[in-house]
Amino acid sequence: MITTMFARTIHRRFSFHHSSISLSNSLRGNNSHSPTNLLRREMSMETERIVDRLKSSGLLQTKGLIGGKWTDAYDGKTIEVNNPASGDVIASVACMGERETKDAISSAYDAFSHWSKLTANDRSSRLRNWYNLLLQHKEELGQLITLEQGKPLKEAIGEVGYGASFIEFFAEEAKRIYGDIIPSTLSDRRLFVLKQPVGVVAAITPWNFPLAMIARKVGPALACGCTVVIKPSELTPLTALAAAELALQSGIPPGVLNVVMGDAIKIGTALTESPQVRKITFTGSTAVGKKLMAGAADTVKKVSLELGGNAPCIVFDDADLEVAIKGSLATKFRNSGQTCVCANRILVQEGIYEKFTKAFSDAVQNLKVGNGLSEGVSQGPLINEAAVKKVESFVEDAVSKGAKLLLGGKRHSLGMSFYEPTVIGDVKNEMLIAQQEVFGPVAPVLRFKTEEEAIQIANDTNAGLAAYIFTNSIKRSWRVSEALEYGIVGVNEGLVSTEVAPFGGFKQSGLGREGSKYGMDDYLEIKYICMGNMG
C-alpha cells in the first residue's frame, strides 16, 4: 500500500506539472496546431466552463465538512484534483489528517444522540429530500463525476441515478426496522429483540464510483440512526463534497454527515483507533481492507468490506452468442474496466471459442475512446498513470507467456491515461492478468473444455465477488450458479447491480452486504431484553 500511495503521490505531482504546462500552453495559443493539442485545448476550455457553472450553483465545494461547517485543513494544506482526460487541475481541496478527523468523529458522536432519537419517519423524509435533490442536480453531479473520474457523461449521470436509488431505498427501509417478540421459556418472563443503530460509522470509499459507493453506505447508516464520517478518495473528493452540500440542504442536521479527505493513512488510523467509531465500512482494494480490519481489532469495531474481485465470465457452447457478446461487453468495459464486478477472465468453451472471440473483438473495436464529455464516447481515460502502467505490465506478462493479442494492447493515441480497448486470447489462468484485477479495458479470454473445468478455473482465486455465466440450459444455469464461490452471479446478464439486491463477496472479496434489506443489518446492533416478574 505504501508503494501505491507513493506511486500516487509521484503521479499526482507529475500530472500537476504536466497539466499546468499543457493547460497554460494551450490557453496561450501554443504555436502547435496538432489535432491532439487542439483536442486538449477544447477539453481544457470545457473543464473551465463546467467548473464555473458548478461554482455558481454552489456544488463545487473544496473544504471538508465538520459539524456542518465547511472547514480548511488546520495547517492550510491543499491537494489538487485533476481531470484524468486532460490533466487539468479542476480544484484544490483541503488536505486533512488526524486532527480534523478526530474533530469530525466528535461531531458525529455528538450528533448521534439527537439523530438516533428522531422518529424513523423524520429520518426517512430527510433522506427522501436528499434523494430528490440528488436527482434535481443529476446533470451537474454527472459532469463533476466525469471531470474528476473520467467516465463518460451518460454513465456518470447513470451513476447519479444509481447512487440516489440507494438513498430512496433506505429512506423507505428506515421505517421497517422491526424487532421481535420471542415466546418465553418461563411463564413470568417476556423476551424482546430490539434493533438499535451501532453509532458513529466511518465510511471509506474509492474513486471508481465517487457517488454510488458513498450512497450505498451512508443511506443505510443514516436510515438506521447512525451518524457518519466519510473519507472519499483523494482522487475524487469533489462529488462527495457536492453530495454533502445537498445533504445539508435536505435537512440532515450538522454533524450527522461529515467529510474529511487528504492523508489516507492518518485519517484511516484516526478512524480505526477511535473508540467512538463503532463501525468501519470500506470499499476499495483487498490490501487496504485487510489493514483496516486489523486496525479495527483493537477497539472491536464492526467491519464491512467491499473489496476487489476477479470475476469470471463463462460462455458455454450452448449460449446465445448475441446475448453473450452483449453481456460480456457490458460487464468488461463499463467504466473502462474499472469496476470491482468487471469481468476479469472471459472463459469460453472450445466449441464457440473462435466465433466468440471474432464477434467480441469486432464489438470491442467499435467502442469509442475519448473525453467522457464528448458525444458517443463509451471509454474514458483510466484514473491515472499508475493505472495505465499496471495494465501495461499485465498485458506484457500475458503476451510474454504465450497469450495472443487479438485487438489493441497499447496506450491510445490520445495520450494521457487513455488505453486502447484490448482483447487477448489464449490466456492461461496462471498468468498475472487472470490472477489479479486488471482494472482496465483489457479482456483476457481463456479456453475451456468441460463445465467442471470452467467451475474449477472460475473458483481458483481468493476473490469471490461477481461471476457471470452465459448458457441456454436452465439446468446448467442452476448447477453452475450453485457451484460458483461468488456473492453475485449474473446469468445471461452482464449488469447486475441494483439497490434492491444484496451486493458483496465471498472469500477475500469482503464481509457483509450492501443494498437491499440485508444492507441495513451491518448498521444495527441487536439488543435482547428479558423482562422478569411479568406473571
The residues annotated as belonging to the active site are 306, 340
List residues near ligand NAP by CB under 6 A. Answer: 1, 4, 204-209, 213, 231, 233-235, 264-265, 268, 283-285, 288, 291-292, 306-309, 340, 437, 465, 505, 510
C-alpha–C-alpha distance, residues 490 and 309, integer Å: 14
Q: Which is nearer to ligand NAP, 138 or 217 (CB)?
A: 217
Q: Which is nearer to ligand NAP, 213 or 423 (CB)?
A: 213
What is the sign, positive or negative, of the torsion defined by CA atoms of 334, 336, 337, 341?
A: negative
Residue 337 DSSP one-character state = G
Q: Tell me whether residue 273 is exposed, middle or buried, using C-beta atoms within 10 angstroms of its C-beta: 0 to 12, 13 to 18, 19 or more.
A: middle
C-alpha–C-alpha distance, residues 329 and 361, integer Å: 10
Q: Which is nearer to ligand NAP, 222 or 307 (CB)?
A: 307
Q: Which is nearer to ligand NAP, 383 or 414 (CB)?
A: 383
C-alpha–C-alpha distance, residues 136 and 415, integer Å: 35
C-alpha–C-alpha distance, residues 213 and 220, integer Å: 12
Minimum distance, C-beta of residue 477 to ligand NAP, in the bound complex (Å):
24
Minimum distance, C-beta of residue 504 to ligand NAP, in the bound complex (Å):
7
Element (H, E) at 265: helix 264-273
C-alpha–C-alpha distance, residues 7 and 9, integer Å: 5
Q: Which is nearer to ligand NAP, 152 or 308 (CB)?
A: 308
Q: Which is nearer to ligand NAP, 285 or 472 (CB)?
A: 285
Taking each helix axis from N to C end, the angle separating 138-149 and 35-56, rounded to the nearest 10 degrees, works out to 140
Strand order in the sheet with 488-491: 404-407, 422-425, 442-448, 343-349, 311-315, 466-470, 488-491
Minimum distance, C-beta of residue 151 to ligand NAP, in the bound complex (Å):
13
C-alpha–C-alpha distance, residues 318 and 469, integer Å: 11
Q: Which is nearer to ligand NAP, 102 or 126 (CB)?
A: 102
Minimum distance, C-beta of residue 303 to ligand NAP, in the bound complex (Å):
13
Beta strands at 466-470 and 442-448: parallel, antiparallel or unpaired: unpaired
C-alpha cell at position 487: 456473492
- The residues, any chain, with a CB within 8 Å of residue 428's CB and separated by 6 or more, are 401, 402, 403, 434, 446
Query: Per residue, what are the HEC states of 503-525?
Result: ECCCHHHEECCECCHHHHHHHEE
Residue whose C-beta lies closest to ligand NAP: 268
C-alpha cell at position 132: 430528490
**494 to 346, 470, 499, 507: CA distances (angstroms):** 12, 9, 16, 22
Minimum distance, C-beta of residue 148 to ligand NAP, in the bound complex (Å):
12
Minimum distance, C-beta of residue 282 to ligand NAP, in the bound complex (Å):
7
Give me the half-sphere count of Cα atoms (radius 13 Å) on the Cβ side of residue 346: 31
Minimum distance, C-beta of residue 247 to ligand NAP, in the bound complex (Å):
19
- The residues, any chain, with a CB within 8 Å of residue 432's CB and separated by 6 or more, are 393, 394, 397, 398
Q: Which is nearer to ligand NAP, 1 or 27 (CB)?
A: 1
Helix (H, G, I), strand (E, B), or coil: what is residue 149?
A: helix
Minimum distance, C-beta of residue 349 to ligand NAP, in the bound complex (Å):
27
Minimum distance, C-beta of residue 36 to ligand NAP, in the bound complex (Å):
28
Q: Which is nearer to ligand NAP, 420 or 437 (CB)?
A: 437
Residue 82 in contact with residue 89, Cβ under 8 Å? Answer: yes
- The residues, any chain, with a CB within 8 Å of residue 260's CB and separated by 6 or more, are 64, 66, 96, 100, 101, 104, 229, 230, 231, 267
Q: Which is nearer to ligand NAP, 30 or 269 (CB)?
A: 269
CA angle 512, 304, 144 (to 5 degrees): 110
- The residues, any chain, with a CB within 8 Å of residue 36's CB and separated by 6 or more, are 413, 414, 415
C-alpha–C-alpha distance, residues 294 and 272, integer Å: 9
Minimum distance, C-beta of residue 7 to ligand NAP, in the bound complex (Å):
11
